[in-house]
Amino acid sequence: MAVYEIVLVLVGLAIFGAVVLPRLLANKPMSFPLIYVAAGVVLFSLPLGVEIPDPVEHADLAERLSEFVVIIALMGAGLKLDRPFEWQSWSNTWRLLVVTMPLTIVAAALLGTSVLGTLLPTAILLGAIVAPTDPVLASDVQVTPPTEGLDEDADPTEQEGEVRFALTSEAGLNDGLAFPFTHLAIAAAAASGASSLGWIGEWFLVHVLYEITVGVVVGYLTGQVIARVIFRGPVTTQLGKVMEGAEALAATLLTYGIAELLHGYGFIAVFVAALVLRHYEWEHDYYMDLHDYAVMIERIVMAAVLVLFGGAIVGGLFAPLTWLHAVVGLTLVFVVRPVAGLVGLLGTSLSWGERFVVSSFGIRGIGSFYYLAFALNEATFEEIELLVAAEELWALIGFVVLTSVVVHGVTANAVMDWLDHGRDG
């Protein structure tokens, strides 16, 4: 069997679908992430001679693929946000980050220890993995592309919708802010049995204060430098016109690479850089080129990851899944996140319907894959793997993501249309 040629056909189909499916599925109760997962299930069920993907066996590949699609999605999310970066106008975002996210982590950790019987480090890891709202799979509930319908004199919350803004900005920031809790789980695993708690202070100084600060500073400085280069003058050469928008990919890779080299949080750096880029030249049409290029790359790589996810399901990803795992997974999606979201949004100006939508559409996705792969690839986490098999964690997280893809994918368009019509009316 000509495996190489078959792989080329599959990749070609994935790219073609990434271009065509969004047009075909517009305003329909179906998401193209769900189509890709289904396509992966079908394709890898055929006797094509292609190796079935296994995220446990190929943990490095799982980490790098998911990492790449998340950072590209973070750039696209940041470029969408037309609202000025002000404390008050971002108040709902801070609530989701400071209240909802920690509550989600604590609730997930409690489920891990009390229901699944995991040790505390594994429970903390479970909370960190399921806490972030995914910037990749949440495109249906995010704000519109940059400069679309922008009116400088209008109230920004009325232009883009507070629900869409809250979900987009939350997805942009909490993927990076889940990192300290992942490191907390890793540090707790390494310190198992230790009598001293000094490692907690080291974790806070390094993985909270230092790495977040580095991420913010690198993102701001890199965004400023790249913005000055991009907007210093119009593109005049034919080659320059052909490459328009590619700076979004360059900015993503440069920012992420520099932040990681300095041991900062690259996810935070990329999102901050995107915000700096977006606000450098407020109404410039070139933002559409930057945004569209980032989204194009994101969708292509996302398609590959989701097809592989479907293949992993065929390969037995859910084999270790028990009914107890399934109950915990459903609780995380339908109870923990919605309740934590509602608590975080208490006292806001949002209606109860809007609060429920923001709380319920904290989509779990590829970011969760990344955090799980990252944690299990850490040498200091091997102690946990002896007690809780990596296969069980992948089965649980895979089930959570699949549930989120199905439920949120089918309902997103209808719910957001209802909200948009209500706001316009």
Q: Do 269 and 26 form a contact (C-beta atoms < 8 A)? A: no
The predicted pLDDT at position 219 comes to 96
179, 288, 302 from 35: Cα distances, Å: 30, 27, 12
Q: What is the pLDDT of residue 238?
A: 45
Q: Distance between the two ends of the chain, CA-based, in angstroms?
A: 59
Q: How far apart are CA 227 and CA 276, in angstroms?
A: 8
Question: What's the confidence (pLDDT) of residue 138?
Answer: 60
With cut-offs at 50, 70 and 90, classify the pLDDT of residue 242: very low
pLDDT at 198 over 80: no
C-beta pairs of 304-308 under 8 Å, 24+ apart in sequence: 304/11, 304/14, 304/65, 305/65, 305/66, 305/69, 305/366, 305/369, 306/33, 306/36, 306/37, 306/40, 306/366, 307/10, 307/14, 307/36, 307/37, 307/39, 307/40, 307/43, 308/40, 308/53, 308/65
More confident residue, 17 or 388: 17
pLDDT digit string, tens, across residues 39-74? 889 888 888 777 888 998 888 999 999 999 999 989
pLDDT for the residue numbered 224: 92
Amino acid, res. 217: V
The pLDDT assigned to 149 comes to: 47
Confidence grade of residue 160 (pLDDT, cut at 50, 70, 90): low
Burial of 33 (0-12, 13-18, 19+ CB in 10 A): buried
Residues 395-411: b if buried by 16+ CB within 10 A, e if exposed: bbbbbbbbbbbbbbbeb
- pLDDT at 387 > cutoff 60: no
What is the arithmetic mean of pLDDT over 362-373?
88
How far is the C-alpha of 42 from the C-alpha of 333, rounded, in Å? 26
Of 193 and 156, the one with more pLDDT: 193
Sign of the torsion formed by the C-alpha atoms of 102, 103, 105 and 110 = positive
* DSSP character at residue 210: I
Domain residue ranges in the chain? 3-424
% of the chain at pLDDT higher than 70: 81
Give this prediction's pTM. 0.88
Evaluate whether 280 touches 225 at the Cβ level (below 8 Å). Answer: no
User: Does the pLDDT at position 27 exceed 70?
Assistant: no
What's the pLDDT score for residue 2? 62
Per-residue pLDDT tens digits for 389-404: 688 889 999 999 999 8
User: Residue 150: pLDDT band by 50, 70, 90 thresholds?
Assistant: very low
What pLDDT sits at residue 408?
A: 81
pLDDT at 191 over 70: yes
CATH code reported for the domain at 3-424: 1.20.1530.20
Does position 287 have pLDDT exceeding 60, yes or no?
A: yes
Burial of residue 330 (number of CB atoms within 10 Å: 0-12, 13-18, 19+) = middle
Helices (H), 118-265: 120-130, 156-160, 162-177, 179-190, 198-203, 211-230, 238-242, 247-261
Identify which of 80, 134, 45 has the alpha carbon closest to the alpha carbon of residue 368: 134
Residue 419 has pLDDT above 50, yes or no: yes
Report whether pLDDT(234) > 80: no
pLDDT of residue 220: 95
What does the pLDDT average to over 23-40? 74
